[in-house]
Structure 1
Amino acid sequence: MTRAAFFDVDHTLTTSVGLFRFLSYWYAATGRPPHHYVRERQRFKAMTAAGIRREETNRAYFGLYTGADRLEIDRLARDWFRAELTAGGHFNEPVLAALREHRAAGDLIVLVSGSFPALLEPLADHLGAHHILCSEPETDPVTDTYTGRLVRSPHQPMIGRAKADAVRLFAAAHRVDLAASTAYGDHISDVPLLETTGRAVRVGCDPTLRQLGARSGWGYLPGAPDPHPLPLPVPAGGVRTPERLVP
């Protein structure tokens, strides 16, 4: 059997919430005015403040892609990731160093995220990650456009307990020794994932994770710093506004 290292992505491995950084980038690239992004971001913050579960806000997020061309989103996602690398500050360096140590030791590197393949595949390629477990938007087989729904399969969206269930299924399929493996997460919703492996590392200062970690003997790495500002793209035939995205 082999070992694996399972990494949550947003605010664990990276310094921002990629879903919203990309949303702003996509809106700008397609000529939507900045207030469209601000309106959606405020809507999701209000949902969270009202106590709506992360699973439901994740589903609502993918509703924004209804009718979007999958290949165009893939192209823009690659452009966005290159822009993040150019801007700098995209990675939480202590966690990135841990990932590189696991990879050098021969561990499987698995990204476990509520994000989706268009955003995660460029990241996985850059890092040399072996597998991605994530939310999967449904596409229309005829038009190859997003339907605004997630696929009808287990572990969707990839939030909370779905992460742990997907990791167990992955381990069985790939002969991974979970007792010898490690998981990394920053949020209370990552607790099921952190409890799945023999070693867990909490990232950042979430007070609930700190208490659980103290009882369970979890490791610790510093939380992600604030991300760098990201210059937004100019739409075809457009003019760049002076605004810069800071989530």
Structure 2
Amino acid sequence: MTIRVLICDELPVIGNGLRTLLDAVADIDVIGTTDSGVEALVLVRTKRPDVVVTDLSLRTMSGLELIRRLGKEVAAPHIVVFTGSDTDQTVSDVLHAGASCLLGKDASPQELVTAVRAAAAGRTLLAPDIAHRLVTWFREQPAARQSRAYPEVTELTPREKEITRMVARGMSTEEVARELTIGVATVRTHLYRVRTKLGVRDRAQLVSLAYRSGLIHSAAGAAGEARTGPREDVYAG
């Protein structure tokens, strides 16, 4: 499957360089480049890329706002953030906005290609130093409290609950589609409706709520399946 990519960067020299790099990869097709956040939103709606590679500095609209708006689209593309800023605040803002992958501009060409492929498959991938900082932060947190009730979960249809459980176990959008014998677009539509009903902005929040509400645990127990957490891909440090 060819991965359709849109590149967004305020500096044309960087955008054109990324285009040359990614266009040379057999399974990637760059459908456009832009330095404008507003134009990027229009291109996403008209050309339907699978992945958007973006910096956080854009004209007319910030990359962060672009990510937030793209997350509200019915057929939302996956986002790879390629930025020179990796402060804790930036990492928090980017992940909460809904980005799938986050790389610094010191990433190698192969790391960028790997991130695009991971994003297209619905997986999460972080630069090594960012992943290390998040793991350190997580280990410093107190033990998780007992799951509490989330009335919003009862509003989900049986199919929406099924897809939510599959995503929470780490399955990509494409894997869910194959397992249920439905189209990828149908899975994305279901996930959009789930996010709307539950009031979550992105896949990470959806997975977190599924575990905190007990939705994934009750499903695993009923099916007699092994309980595994959501899968994340990170570069080896």
Structure scoring higher RCO (CA < 8 A, sep ≥ 6) equals 1
Structure with more of its chain in helix, by fraction: 2
Is the TM value for this pair above 0.5?
no
Return the TM-score normalized by structure 2: 0.28
Return the TM-score normalized by structure 1: 0.28
